Amino acid sequence: MRSEAYSYRKFFKYPLKIWKIGKGEKSLVFSKGIEIRQIVVSILIFGFFFLFRGSINQVLPTTFQLAFYAVLPWMIAGVICRSKLDGKRLDRFFIGYFRYLFTKRFCYSSHRPVYQPQMKKSQSYERFQ
């Protein structure tokens, strides 16, 4: 029975990708695919650049502005998504980090929460004979 079950671990190990946009002959096909998390990170970086567009546009010439707003966020997002933080992917690292922030006040023993007043009691040990 166990050998017939399908393992979804292989499926979730790899990031979600967009392989083709559109239908028919006019569709746009990506041979290696575009990761959805890279798209999200690049949109966030673009939004950050867009907040400071007044000061950025004063420094950059007009010809470099398109490259700065379109290409640079995509390249930075690619580097960020490929980097490993503590041996984990970017999204898995932040999910674990925020999960720790919200659950660090709780102590568990044998997968059960420990009563908080119990944790504050002083412990005493008997001598081993």
Give the three-state DSSP class for 105: coil
109, containing H or E segment: strand 108-109
CB 21 within 8 A of CB 27: yes
**According to the model, what pLDDT value does residue 64 have?**
86
CB 80 within 8 A of CB 68: no
The two tokens of residue 14 are 């790899």
Where helices occur in the chain by DSSP H, the ranges are 9-13, 36-51, 53-59, 62-82, 90-103, 116-120
d(CA 27, CA 21): 6
pLDDT at 48: 93
Q: pLDDT tens across 84-115, in order?
A: 878 887 778 888 888 888 876 667 777 777 76
